[in-house]
Amino acid sequence: MSGAGHAAAAADPAALDALLDAARRFVRDEVIPHEAALLGGSWEAALPVLEALRARARALGLWAPFLPPSLGGLGLPLDAYARLSEVLGSTPFGLYACNCQAPDVGNMELLHQFGTPAQQAQWLAPLAAGRVRSCFAMTEPGQAGSNPVWLTTRAVRDGDAYVITGHKWFTSSADGAAFAIVMAVTDPDAPPHRRASQIVVPLDAPGYALVRNIPVMGEAGGGWNSHAEVRFDAVRVPVANRLGEEGAGFALAQERLGPGRIHHCMRWIGVAERALALMCARVASRELAPGDPLASRQAVQFWIAESRIAIHAARLMVLDAAGKIARHGQQAAREEVAYIKVFVANMLQQVLDRAVQAHGALGVTDDTPLAWWYRHERAARIYDGADEVHKAVIARRELKPYLRA
């Protein structure tokens, strides 16, 4: 099916099924065969293979599925894109191959929704075409990420420019990125949720420094597959680089978070499905003694059953939330989005842990993608809102009618 044909998937269930089938074949036949080499080498060594996969994804009509056709994408609504994210998420490189990887996907959505025509021409067009990468700089090492209004990075107005000074970390994919969208305080005296703005900062600007790629459980990574500590030392950028009005940073962040959590959760379901498949294949073939497969043990059967039930429940929950956002907007689905962030992240951790255990010593090596996911996806219960924050919000909403005076 051509890219134009895939674009019809937004309205036609049969077209969406054809798109998903094409994506499954692409992942199975063209991405997974390269997985071991891509996971085992440096980012620089992986790039030629990844660029070839990107060219292939474009030819298959799988490129930038969330963007409108005018930007080279498929124009999928959120609920259809969620189903595709699951398929592409079953390999660490599926989303990257199709130019819908975080954090670029969120930055493209921000620029598409809120960017000026000049910003879209300068930043969105090359990002949509896959010519550059970007990053999002919000989290700071000195402040609790669970309190997003507590920021110390400042953007001080100086004529027609902002001068930005601050220290960020876990700025994912900053290594090799062309620009960052930076959350910085523009008015420290404003109400808490009106203090900050989002500003596009070219990463070749004087005063910017990538301090290091932060090792995550011993792996620093590189390129897109990295999380950086960065500093902004009196970095000067035009006021025209600000997204939206001054003080709208948190409002824009909320616009990014709802769809972003759908993206993450469906990717996690793809990871869990792959982990379950690997676990089943392993226990069916691994014998404890001749003719006595690991799959014969009831404890292992329980792991498989519990994983299947949890994945199925997670999928239904996420598709329900995505459909509600698509029909009624983010505000209407804010409770469901909180539910899935907690439920799916925990489901993922449990399924991965069972899969690692079922593989025995093999599970903690990089001979399968399980250990890579185990390292990198443990943070699923932390980023985009820690479990405890979401649970507290859910509980307050649930208790509200009972605590009225």
CATH superfamily of 250-402: Butyryl-CoA Dehydrogenase, subunit A, domain 3 (1.20.140.10)
- Residue spans in the chain of domains classed CATH 1.10.540.10: 3-101
Instruction: Give the model's pLDDT for residue 330.
Output: 86
Mean pLDDT of the chain: 94
Instruction: Give the model's pLDDT for residue 300.
Output: 98
- Residue spans in the chain of domains classed CATH 1.20.140.10: 250-402
* Ramachandran angles phi, psi of 137, nearest 5°: -110, 100
- Residue spans in the chain of domains classed CATH 2.40.110.10: 134-246
Q: Does residue 53 register a pLDDT over 70? A: yes
Least confident of 144-153, 383-392, 395-404: 144-153
CATH superfamily of 3-101: Acyl-CoA dehydrogenase/oxidase, N-terminal domain (1.10.540.10)
Let me know: does 80 contact 263? Beta carbons within 8 Å. Answer: no
Nearest alpha carbon to residue 90 among 35, 13, 17: 35
User: pTM of whole model > 0.85?
Assistant: yes
| Helices 334-359, 387-399: crossing angle, 10 deg rounding | 140
Average pLDDT over every residue of 74-92: 96
- SS (HEC) of the chain: CCHHHHHHHHCCHHHHHHHHHHHHHHHHHHHHHHHHHHHHCCHHHHHHHHHHHHHHHHHCCCCCCCCCHHHCCCCCCHHHHHHHHHHHCCCCCHHHHCCCCCCHHHHHHHHHHHCCHHHHHHHHHHHHCCCCCEEEECCCCCCCCCCCCCCCCEEEEECCEEEEEEEEEEEECCCCCCEEEEEEECCCCCCHHHCEEEEEEECCCCCEEEEEECCECCECCECCECEEEEEEEEEEEEHHHEECCCCCHHHHHHHHHHHHHHHHHHHHHHHHHHHHHHHHHHHHHCEEECCEEHHHCHHHHHHHHHHHHHHHHHHHHHHHHHHHHHHHCCHHHHHHHHHHHHHHHHHHHHHHHHHHHHHHHHHHCCCCCHHHHHHHHHHHHCCCCCHHHHHHHHHHHHHHHHCCC
Q: Which CATH architecture has domain 134-246?
A: Beta Barrel (2.40)
Nearest alpha carbon to residue 273 among 301, 312, 299, 300: 312
Per-residue pLDDT band for 1 (boundaries 50, 70, 90) equals: very low
Average pLDDT over every residue of 328-332: 88
Per-residue pLDDT band for 326 (boundaries 50, 70, 90) equals: confident
Instruction: Give the model's pLDDT for residue 9.
Output: 56
How distant, in Å, are the alpha carbons of 173, 227, 374 from that of 220?
Answer: 11, 8, 15
pLDDT, tens digit, 9 for 90 and up, residues 232-282: 999 999 999 999 999 999 999 888 788 889 999 999 999 999 999 999 999
Alpha-carbon gap, residue 20 to 60, rounded angstroms: 12
How distant, in Å, are the alpha carbons of 39, 54, 362 from that of 367?
Answer: 9, 24, 7
Average pLDDT over every residue of 360-384: 94
Q: Does residue 2 register a pLDDT over 80? A: no
Average pLDDT over every residue of 51-57: 98
Average pLDDT over every residue of 73-81: 95
pLDDT, tens digit, 9 for 90 and up, residues 93-122: 999 999 999 999 999 999 999 999 999 999
